[in-house]
Chain A
Amino acid sequence: MTDISPFEALSDPTRRKLFERLRRGPCSVNELVEAVPVSQPAVSQHLRVLREAHLARVEKQGQQRIYSLDPRGLIELRAYVDSLWDQVLDAFQQAAQRESQESTLNPSTKEPGHD
């Protein structure tokens, strides 16, 4: 597997713009080309990266190739953001626990500025 991670794919501003356009709904290559200030070959290259990162997928509808979001890359991004908040909230919970123990041990030391 030579898959590109969704994070790597979205590190590029043009690809973020294309991704952003796809968030608003499925669209053709022409519509995607209009969304960014780069040439059609460049857009095709960026779309290839988004496909490899499982952020976009393409489907033939008649003569047109229609691009849409691929949930697989989104699931990976979501898992990352989810774990990021797990770590933050763990740290918060530990701090809250320390604070609650302190106030139980020293119920009289509640004046502001006590640290």
Chain B
Amino acid sequence: MIEISSTENIIPPVVKSIRINLTVEAAFRLFTTEITRWWPLASHSVFGDEAVSCHLEGFVGGRFYEVHKDQRQSEWGRVTVWEPPRRVAFSFYPGRKLDDSTEVEVTFQPEAGGVRMTLTHRGWEHCSPQFQAERDGYDRGWDLVLGKYAQSAAAAD
């Protein structure tokens, strides 16, 4: 009898790939240490409209976190691989606890005058990220149930 021992056998990791017109160095920097310049905080954060910035610290063990306007923080993950400018990986558990962690890896490869950036999210089936503000309707139950959970999880940190 064959036992299916991992969900990766059923559903593969989420993999996204985009092309960017920057140097590898600039793309890596923009994605990591300059992340607060572009991350869609209002929709992709635990604090939603009250989040003012997010930060990814550039070293192994560095924190990935958002900051509330009252200076409270909510940790989203920890840097597990820091290999500028080609590769960064972090655990990812917004709105969750550390032991509910998932893994994200981002690689940057030079490609004809630009960069091919590939993002792989593993373990999401273990625990999907709980950003509060999936308000624009993916699922009505989401905001009501998980939004509250995400806030309380953040408050309990």
Q: Which residues of A contact B (CB under 8 A)?
A: 4-5, 7-8, 10-11, 16, 20, 23-26, 68-69, 71, 74-75, 77-78, 80-89, 91-97, 99-100, 103
15 contacts between A and B (CB under 8 A): A5-B141, A7-B145, A16-B100, A26-B4, A69-B4, A69-B7, A78-B11, A78-B125, A84-B129, A87-B43, A91-B39, A92-B20, A92-B30, A95-B30, A96-B21
Q: Is B70 an interface residue (CB 8 A)?
A: no
Main secondary structure of the interface of A (DSSP, over half): helix
What DSSP secondary structure best describes chain B's contact surface? loop
Q: Is the CB of A91 within 8 A of B38?
A: yes
A-B contact count (CB 8 A): 111
The reply on B127 being an interface residue by CB < 8 A is yes
On chain B, the number of residues with a Cβ less than 8 Å from chain A's Cβ atoms is: 42
A91 to B30, CA, bound (A): 11
